[in-house]
Amino acid sequence: MTITRQDTDAARALQGLEDGRSSVRLRAALAVGTTPDPRFVDRLVERCAIEPEFLVRDMLTWALTRHPVDMTLPVLIREVRSKRAQARSQALHTLSKIGDRQAWPAITRALLSDADDEVARSAWRAAAILVPEGEEAALAAVLATQLGRGGRETQLSLSRALVALGEVIVPALLAAATVADPCVRAHARATQRLLRDPDAGFEFAIEEAKRVVALGGSGQEGR
């Protein structure tokens, strides 16, 4: 069997993905994306699950987006069911970058409420991009169950995903603004503020919402 230069280059790139130096892995991922090859897809997805460096993971995702969707989608959809949190998170992130709505059924309620914040955040972003027309309100109702969760970055991610859905989120936010948990009420009000004024900073919106909640505001003025 004749070994071509393309075979040699492919072997070198795949070997580079396993190198101990992040700079070498980054260059290898760039090379793979520059010259897409079906033989790379499984290895790219496998590497995403264990790659420790953010920049390299981002390049791996870019490399996957350079391959045909019919090759990447089945592998990524399988990966979102992985027991490894990073595998789920990165697969969801890559699906959001590909943007093909065929992946929508893979965005389950379990992923949208995943115990791992990074997985949940990736699921929220992917859902806001992949949701089919007409299903935005149902998605908003599910996302609203996560209001009040986590720290600033997690809450901001959820607010952004909700705001991306548009006005359909208003009923879910109004309902959340009346629950007993003050953290949920404040997060709902802050998201309402961002919907009305996208240029408002999240820090300002959340602090304002906390003050209103502390003073006993009901959150109904957003009607």
The domain segmentation of the chain, as residue ranges, is 10-130, 136-223
| C-alpha distances out from residue 143 to 37, 48, 79, 103, 105, Å | 37, 26, 22, 18, 16
Is domain 10-130 annotated with CATH 1.20.1260.10? no
Is the pLDDT reported for residue 2 higher than 60? no
Tell me what pLDDT residue 220 has. 44
Q: What number is the average pLDDT over the span 101-128? A: 98
The 3-class SS string of the chain reads CCCCHHHHHHHHHHHHCCCCCHHHHHHHHHHHHHCCCHHHHHHHHHHHCCCCCHHHHHHHHHHHHCCCHHHHHHHHHHHCCCCCHHHHHHHHHHHHHHCCHHHHHHCCHHHHCCCCHHHHHHHHHHHHHHCCCCCHHHHHHHHHCCCCCCCHHHHHHHHHHHHHCHHHHHHHHHHHCCCCCHHHHHHHHHHHHHHHCCCCCHHHHHHHHHHHHHCCCCCHHHC
Tell me what pLDDT residue 136 has. 98
| pLDDT digit string, tens, across residues 33-83 | 999 988 899 999 999 999 999 999 999 999 999 999 999 999 999 999 999
| C-alpha distances out from residue 56 to 27, 32, 92, 160, Å | 9, 12, 16, 25
* The overall pTM is greater than 0.85: yes
Query: How far is it, in rounded angstroms, from Cα 64 to Cα 121?
Result: 20
- The string over 116-152, giving b where at least 16 C-beta atoms fall within 10 Å of a residue's C-beta and e elsewhere, is ebbbbbbbbbbbbbbbeeeebbebbebbbebbbbbee
| C-alpha distances out from residue 93 to 45, 86, 107, 180, 200, Å | 12, 10, 11, 33, 26
Rg of the chain on CA atoms, in Å: 20
Which tokens is 76 given?
Answer: 């990524």
Higher pLDDT, 222 or 122: 122
Tell me what pLDDT residue 40 has. 92
| C-alpha distances out from residue 129 to 70, 93, 102, Å | 19, 11, 12
Is the pLDDT reported for residue 28 higher than 80? yes
